[in-house]
Amino acid sequence: MPDRREVAAVFAGGAVGALCRALLGEAYPAATPGWPWVTFGVNIVGAFLLGYFATRLQERLPLSSYRRPLLGTGLCGGLTTFSTMQVELLTMIDTRHYGLAISYATTSVAGGYAAIHLATAMVRRVRVQVRV
């Protein structure tokens, strides 16, 4: 059983992440057919933040029981979304915008992966400098 503080941290982080994503979605509704900028943006930014937080918390900072659930599982998990991306891809395929679907899928994956990689490398480089 996870402790209550951990669950509360996931809840708080997830609430803030979901609110930010929903506010952006309402402010900038996606044009169909078009590039889903809000989903794409929150996903790449959230991936970068998770790469940063998770690497720092795992490899650099002392063990903490609530930071990872608050910032990683909660905030980044709530800010980013897989399901919306899949429904957007489905809509693009339905409307025969195959090129858009392929470029959206590959750019999201490549961008998300690169964001994690970059954030991880940044944290690790800082650690090496501190040790030297």
Partner 1 sequence: MTVLVWLGVVLIGGAGSVLRFAVDGAISSRTHRSFPYGTLVVNLSGAVLLGLVTGLALSHDAALLAGTAAVGSYTTFSTWMFESQRLAEDRQVPSLAVNIVGSLVAGVAAAALGRLVGSHL
State which of residues 34, 59, 96, 109 lies at the interface with partner 1 (CB under 8 A): 109
CB 29: neighbour CB atoms within 10 A?
A: 9
What letter represents residue 99's amino acid?
Answer: G
Picking from 33, 46, 51, the residue whose alpha carbon sits closest to that of residue 98 is 33
Size of the site for partner 1 (CB under 8 A): 51
Q: What residues contact 46, with CB distance under 8 A and at least 6 apart?
A: 17, 76, 79, 80
Q: How far is the CB of 62 from partner 1 (least distance, A)?
A: 21
* Residue 23: other Cβ atoms inside 10 A: 11
Q: Residue 111 CB, nearest distance to partner 1 (Å)?
A: 9
- Considering only residues 51 to 80 of the shown chain, the ones binding partner 1 according to CB under 8 A are 51, 54, 69, 72-74, 76-80
User: Which chain residues interact with partner 1 by CB under 8 A?
Assistant: 2, 7, 10-19, 21-22, 25-26, 43, 46-47, 49-51, 54, 69, 72-74, 76-87, 89-90, 93, 105, 108-109, 112-113, 115-117, 120
